[in-house]
């Protein structure tokens, strides 16, 4: 046992001796490098500059310090975007604290410039919303590094702005193309307070308010100086999908939604749904008025029951419709012309008239998109095209006078809507209901037929119409034509009816 203890202790004593001798060697060896106490306090105006010493990024930003520096000369570089680097040298002494401050604001090398060009030229230039009394082309000098808002204005063109970033000592150029608004003016979220790109319909009341129906996002009351956007969330609107709008002789707005009818009379809203009234169906597709004050309404329900409704303000009368009603108009004899998703009908004295004579034409086999009655009692009927992509069986525009009718020869037969202006002009919107793959610059997308029967086509590119798909139009008392589009909000055609 004693021999075992000795054998265990002796190795332990050997290890202790080794540790003691190692500790003694480290504590007595001289240091390889002496410790220096040179120090630089670094700052900048403005602060936040990255600090470089002898070309190496220290990973520090101002204000900060660099210590334990060996005496000698050091290159100091400060970098702060978007200013030019400030570079200098400093002689560092041991045990001395030195200061270095980079003044970016005081470095005149940082002044830059922007050259502004525009189409058209001679546009007035604005810098951060302030007029410079300069016209394009021009150069704005002595610009401090930063982000600048540059805008240009020109008569009968929409003001346009852009942002230009100028770094220290940099010269930049910008080119601004101004939209010509001398004839057409568009309003959509990218350039105005109008809230939508896609629209369904537009009507104008006696106070020049534009009422615009949107597909799934509500109803808009639009004036160029103000916009009110009604939705289920902020109004009595029963549904955000607006199918149609009509305005009666009392300036009341009748709004057909996918879940109810709304009558807006000033600030008063009256809502009719199957849950709160005797209206039999509340998916409203079309509205028109006869000379006796009755409203004629196209309605359906989820079970595909199609009805033509007559509403005298109190009572609802229902008539079965052969197909889904897409458009309505009342002629001078109080006959109701009913556009259907397949063909059309004429409703008179509580009965459907015979439309057999129109079989074999698009009037009997294709959707009827729009109907209008002119001051002479002629009925204008738009038969829609059938197809997909860029391949369609054309419909066309048909004019009924008495018992006869004719198809109008037009440069475009994919028609979405016809509007009768107060001066007798007929405005024909095209392509709005057709998902074409593309629209050529030379394609006709709007047409006017005057009282003499003259046809004026308006082409997308040639006439600089700022949209491809025109869905619906309405005439203003001052002669302007307002157009609801499927791809560019709404458009004002200035003085179209003057």
pLDDT of the chain, 498 residues: tens digit per residue:
434 333 433 444 443 333 333 333 333 344 455 588 899 999 999 999 999 999 999 999 999 999 999 999 999 999 999 999 999 999 999 889 999 999 999 999 999 999 999 999 999 999 999 999 999 999 999 999 999 999 999 999 999 999 999 999 999 999 999 999 999 999 999 999 999 999 999 999 999 999 999 999 999 999 999 999 999 999 999 999 999 999 999 999 999 999 999 999 999 999 999 999 999 999 999 999 999 999 999 999 877 889 999 999 999 999 999 999 999 999 999 999 999 999 999 999 999 987 767 888 899 999 999 999 999 999 999 999 988 777 888 899 999 998 799 999 999 999 999 999 999 999 999 999 988 888 999 999 999 999 999 999 999 999 999 999 999 999 999 999 999 999 999 999 999 887
Q: Closest Cα partner for 41 from 63, 73, 14, 58?
A: 63
Whole-angstrom distance, CA of residue 494 vs CA of residue 333: 34
Torsion of the alpha carbons at 230, 233, 236 and 239, rounded to the nearest 10: 80
All structural domains of the chain:
38-103 (2.60.40.1120), 111-180 (2.60.40.1120), 184-493 (2.130.10.10)
Whole-angstrom distance, CA of residue 89 vs CA of residue 75: 4
Q: What is the pTM of this model?
A: 0.82
Report residue 474 as tokens: 């309405």
Cis previous bond, 120, omega within 30: yes
Cis previous bond, 63, omega within 30: yes
Q: What is the pLDDT of residue 33?
A: 55
Q: What is the pLDDT of residue 354?
A: 78
Q: Check if the beta carbon of residue 276 is closer than 8 Å to that of residue 270.
A: no
Q: What is the pLDDT of residue 435?
A: 82
Whole-angstrom distance, CA of residue 213 vs CA of residue 242: 5
Q: Check if the beta carbon of residue 158 is closer than 8 Å to that of residue 179.
A: yes
Exposure b/e, 321-357, CB count within 10 A at least 16 = b: bebbbbbbbbbeeebbbbbbeebbbbbeeeebeebee
Exposure b/e, 103-116, CB count within 10 A at least 16 = b: ebeebeebebebeb
Which residues fall within 8 angstroms of residue 232, CB to CB, at 6 or more apart?
218, 238, 239, 240
Report residue 464 as tokens: 């600089």
Count of Cβ atoms closer than 10 Å to residue 368 Cβ: 28
Q: What is the pLDDT of residue 403?
A: 79
């Amino acid at each position: 046992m004693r021999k075992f203890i000795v054998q265990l202790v002796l190795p332990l004593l050997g290890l202790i001796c080794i540790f003691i001798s190692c500790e003694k060697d480290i504590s007595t060896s001289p240091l390889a490098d002496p410790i220096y106490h040179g120090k630089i306090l670094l700052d900048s105006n403005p602060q936040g500059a990255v600090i470089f010493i002898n070309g190496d990024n220290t990973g520090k930003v101002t204000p900060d310090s660099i210590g334990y520096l060996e005496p000698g000369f050091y290159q100091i570089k400060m970098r702060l975007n978007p200013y030019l680097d400030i570079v200098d040298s400093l002689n560092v002494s041991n045990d001395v604290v030195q200061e270095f401050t980079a003044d970016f604001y005081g470095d005149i090398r940082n002044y830059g410039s922007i050259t502004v060009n525009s189409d058209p030229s001679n546009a007035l230039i604005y810098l951060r919303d302030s007029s410079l009394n300069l016209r394009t082309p021009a150069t704005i000098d002595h610009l401090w590094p930063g982000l600048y808002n540059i805008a240009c204005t020109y008569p009968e063109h929409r003001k346009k702005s852009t942002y230009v970033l100028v770094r220290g000592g940099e010269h930049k150029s910008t080119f601004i193309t101004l939209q010509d608004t001398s004839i057409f003016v568009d309003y959509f979220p990218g350039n105005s307070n109008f809230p939508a790109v896609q629209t369904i319909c537009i009507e104008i009341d006696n106070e020049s308010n534009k009422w615009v129906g949107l597909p799934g996002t509500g109803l808009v009351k639009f004036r160029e100086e103000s916009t009110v956007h009604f939705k289920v969330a902020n109004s009595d609107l029963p549904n955000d999908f607006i199918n149609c709008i009509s305005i009666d002789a009392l300036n009341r707005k009748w709004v057909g939604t996918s879940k109810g009818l709304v009558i807006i009379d000033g600030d008063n809203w009256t809502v009719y749904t199957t849950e709160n009234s005797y209206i039999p169906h509340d998916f409203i597709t079309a509205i028109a008025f006869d000379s006796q004050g009755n409203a004629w309404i196209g309605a359906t329900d989820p079970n595909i029951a199609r009805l033509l409704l007559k509403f005298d303000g109190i009572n609802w009368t229902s008539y079965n419709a052969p197909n889904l009603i897409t458009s309505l108009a009342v002629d001078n004899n109080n006959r109701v012309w009913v556009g259907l998703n397949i063909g059309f009908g004429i409703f008179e004295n509580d009965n459907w008239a015979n439309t057999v004579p129109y079989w074999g034409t698009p009037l009997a086999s294709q959707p009827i998109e729009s109907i209008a009655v002119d001051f002479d009692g002629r009925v204008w009927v738009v038969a829609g095209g059938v197809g997909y992509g860029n391949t369609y069986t054309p419909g066309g525009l048909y004019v009924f006078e008495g018992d006869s009718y004719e198809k109008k020869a037009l440069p475009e037969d994919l028609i979405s809507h016809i509007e009768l202006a107060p001066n007798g002009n007929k405005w024909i919107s095209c392509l709005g209901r057709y998902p074409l793959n593309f629209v050529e610059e030379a394609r006709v997308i709007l047409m006017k037929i005057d009282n003499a029967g003259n046809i004026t086509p308006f082409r997308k590119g040639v006439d600089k119409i700022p949209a491809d798909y025109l869905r619906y139009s309405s005439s203003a008392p001052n002669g302007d034509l307002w157009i609801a589009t499927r791809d560019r909000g709404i458009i004002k055609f200035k003085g179209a009816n003057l």
